[in-house]
Amino acid sequence: VACCEADDNNNAPEEVILKDSVPDFKWHILWEFVKPQLFALIGAVVLAFGAAMLNIQIPLMLGDLVNVVARYLREHSGTYVNEIKGPAIKLLGLYAIQGLLTTGYIILLSRVGERVAADMRKTLFASLIRQDVAFFDANKTGQLVNRLTADIQEFKSSFKLVISQGLRSITQTVGCFVSLYIISPKLTGLTVVVLPCLVGAGAIIGSFLRKLSRLAQEQGYEYFCTLMLVSFIMFLLRLYAHEVDKSCEMNENLGGGIAVFQGLSNVALNCIVLGTIFAGGTLISSDEMSPGDLMSFLVASQTVQRSLASISILFGQVVRGMSAGARVFEYLSLKPTIPLSGGGRIPFHSLIGRVDFMNISFSYPTRPGHEVLKKFSLTLPPCKTVAIVGESGGGKSTVASLLERFYDPTNGVVMLDGLDIRTLDLAWLRGQVIGFINQEPVLFGSSIMENIRFGKPDATDAEVISAAKQSNAHRFIMSFPDGYNTMVGERGVALSGGQKQRIAIARALIKNPSILVLDEATSALDAESERVVQEALNRATRGRTVLIIAHRLSTIQGADLICVMSNGRIVEAGTHLELLSKGGLYSDLIRRQRAEGQK
């Protein structure tokens, strides 16, 4: 059996299952979330850009400072402090402004990130609760929520990081590269000539290492291509080493090769610094460059190195952030297969409340091979009470689910007053026509007033109290010191089973529904509570079409019609006495329950 079930699950329709493949990233959805934060975002971008521009300026200022020092050493004119004061104060000023800009853009960006993420969370929640029951059958709610929460988190941090670091790194790389060229075209030219050789050597060793590795390093190749595109490949070696770092963790056999590779690339990088100083020194001695320029060149090239390193990290972050975002967006735009609104309504005064299940076949979407109802037909005459009894698993609750349109039948139709319920407005059907009293009522951590009002959100306090009176709940509610404001649920007062049920009855009655579905409690109440609840139910069912899903038989003997269900079909129907005298399945059930009761 377990094996069959597993097979059934595998056949589940694809659209309701959480997919593992990454959907496309939808920019227009991102735009909808970013739009309200546009000013803050533009502010952040402007500040980040300003900070980056200053970072380009700072190496040049450092160069000026070094030139002042060099001149003082050469000429010994004036006092050192006086000479150095001007450029030093300027530089300090730049540092201060740069610090302020950085603080500013990080604050703004966090605000944008947090608000976008909060909006996404709210929209996502709203989208999820609109989904069909079938969607939640297929996707474990906890898993779904966890995964999407993690995805939003991932998306948020990527979003912030990519905007702040990405903008800064790109601006700085381009800006500093221009500075390098302005400071010394020759030195820059030299580096650009020397580097491809080093990069070439690195690539050869790298591809050798890659052959050793079992893992496909697509990302590494992408970094390589991107950097080639940026055409500035000065520090590719270090980036490559970073990439190789990752595979080192995964594949120990590569350890030795990587150690050599990293050692070599470190040597190469240090040689570049040494070479720059050497070549720069030559240029200084031939008066083509000042010592300050060399200083600027070194600092600017360090800035470029740092920026490129962070671009390489960002690249991975972009990929991760986009796939997380795409998954979230997919769930945001998910449409329920049973739309909540749209369709006809029958005006209250002409609603008769007759329900027909006609030739219904039904399998749950998660178990398509397992037919729960087989050509099931049943009429609920207006203002009559019909009870369905039978062994557990026979399909009783499924009938109620189809009436509420939690699912649509695979074949056949459910009709209300002769109209296919698929053509009717679902919000109206659930909100105003059908009252549902569940066997284990769920109370929210809120006041009794709000818990009853849940059945009709726009109900007045007087309506709530009247519903509570009809359901025999008013007396016990008033016996609490806080009356209707008494808090219930996890952190509120503990209500007895009978009290909870009466609140659930009030919640259903407040809609004044034409049809009442009672999914009867399996848990036995004590005799006194049962009497009060039964009294409330008797009053509640008067003048309404009632469907009782009965798990115990004692309470339904007065029903106008009792249907015995077995294997997705009605096998016996009649009144209590008719069925008893027939001596079939029903009388068996009665006998069995009596015997159990005596145990």
Binding stretches for ligand ADP (CB under 6 A): 137, 364, 366-367, 372, 390, 392-398
In whole angstroms, how close is the CB of 400 to ligand ADP at the nearest point?
Answer: 8
65 vs 213: CA distance, rounded Å: 49
Q: Which residues pair with 570 in a beta bridge?
A: 565
In whole angstroms, how close is the CB of 385 to ligand ADP at the nearest point?
Answer: 18
Give which of 513, 509, 169 is closest to 311, Cα–Cα.
169
Q: Residue 536 burial (CB < 10 Å; 0-12/13-18/19+)? A: buried
Paired tokens of 12: 């589940």
207 vs 275: CA distance, rounded Å: 27
477 vs 487: CA distance, rounded Å: 11
In whole angstroms, how close is the CB of 21 to ligand ADP at the nearest point?
Answer: 25
| Closer residue to ligand ADP, CB minimum distance, 7 or 114 | 7
Give residue for tokens 């990405």.
166
587 vs 325: CA distance, rounded Å: 59
| Closer residue to ligand ADP, CB minimum distance, 82 or 392 | 392
| Closer residue to ligand ADP, CB minimum distance, 366 or 470 | 366
| Closer residue to ligand ADP, CB minimum distance, 337 or 397 | 397
In whole angstroms, how close is the CB of 372 to ligand ADP at the nearest point?
Answer: 4
| Closer residue to ligand ADP, CB minimum distance, 234 or 373 | 373
Query: 154: helix, coil or strand?
Result: helix
518 vs 506: CA distance, rounded Å: 13
In whole angstroms, how close is the CB of 174 to ligand ADP at the nearest point?
Answer: 58
| Closer residue to ligand ADP, CB minimum distance, 72 or 406 | 406
In whole angstroms, how close is the CB of 393 to ligand ADP at the nearest point?
Answer: 4
Q: What is the DSSP letter of 553?
A: S
In whole angstroms, how close is the CB of 102 to ligand ADP at the nearest point?
Answer: 54
391-398's contacts with Cβ under 8 Å and 24+ in sequence apart are 391/566, 391/589, 392/551, 394/565, 394/566, 394/567, 394/568, 395/565, 395/567, 395/568, 396/549, 396/550, 396/565, 397/519, 397/549, 398/362, 398/372, 398/373
In whole angstroms, how close is the CB of 390 to ligand ADP at the nearest point?
Answer: 6
Written as one string, the DSSP assignment of 393-461 is TSSHHHHHHHHTTSS--SEEEEEETTEEGGGB-HHHIIIIIEEEE-SS----SSBHHHHHHTTSTT--H
In whole angstroms, how close is the CB of 202 to ligand ADP at the nearest point?
Answer: 57
Q: Residue 574 burial (CB < 10 Å; 0-12/13-18/19+)? A: middle
| Closer residue to ligand ADP, CB minimum distance, 346 or 548 | 548
Give residue for tokens 């060229």.
181
Other Cβ atoms less than 10 A from the Cβ of 494: the count is 9
Rounded to 5 degrees, what are φ and ψ at 380?
-105, 105
Determine contact, residues 114/389, Cβ cutoff 8 Å.
no
Q: What are the residues whose beta carbons fall under 8 Å from the beta carbon of 405, sequence distance 6 or more?
A: 338, 414, 421, 422, 426, 429, 430
Q: What share of the chain is helix, strand, coil (3-state, %, to 5)?
A: 65, 10, 25
In whole angstroms, how close is the CB of 168 to ligand ADP at the nearest point?
Answer: 52
367 vs 13: CA distance, rounded Å: 9
| Closer residue to ligand ADP, CB minimum distance, 370 or 582 | 370
In whole angstroms, how close is the CB of 347 to ligand ADP at the nearest point?
Answer: 33
| Closer residue to ligand ADP, CB minimum distance, 86 or 393 | 393
In whole angstroms, how close is the CB of 438 to ligand ADP at the nearest point?
Answer: 12
In whole angstroms, how close is the CB of 525 to ligand ADP at the nearest point?
Answer: 20
| Closer residue to ligand ADP, CB minimum distance, 522 or 581 | 522
| Closer residue to ligand ADP, CB minimum distance, 107 or 133 | 133
Paired tokens of 414: 């459910």
Determine contact, residues 191/312, Cβ cutoff 8 Å.
no
231 vs 233: CA distance, rounded Å: 6
| Closer residue to ligand ADP, CB minimum distance, 325 or 409 | 409
83 vs 73: CA distance, rounded Å: 11
In whole angstroms, how close is the CB of 376 to ligand ADP at the nearest point?
Answer: 11
In whole angstroms, how close is the CB of 502 to ligand ADP at the nearest point?
Answer: 23
| Closer residue to ligand ADP, CB minimum distance, 366 or 541 | 366
| Closer residue to ligand ADP, CB minimum distance, 529 or 593 | 593
| Closer residue to ligand ADP, CB minimum distance, 32 or 137 | 137
Give residue for tokens 């029951």.
133
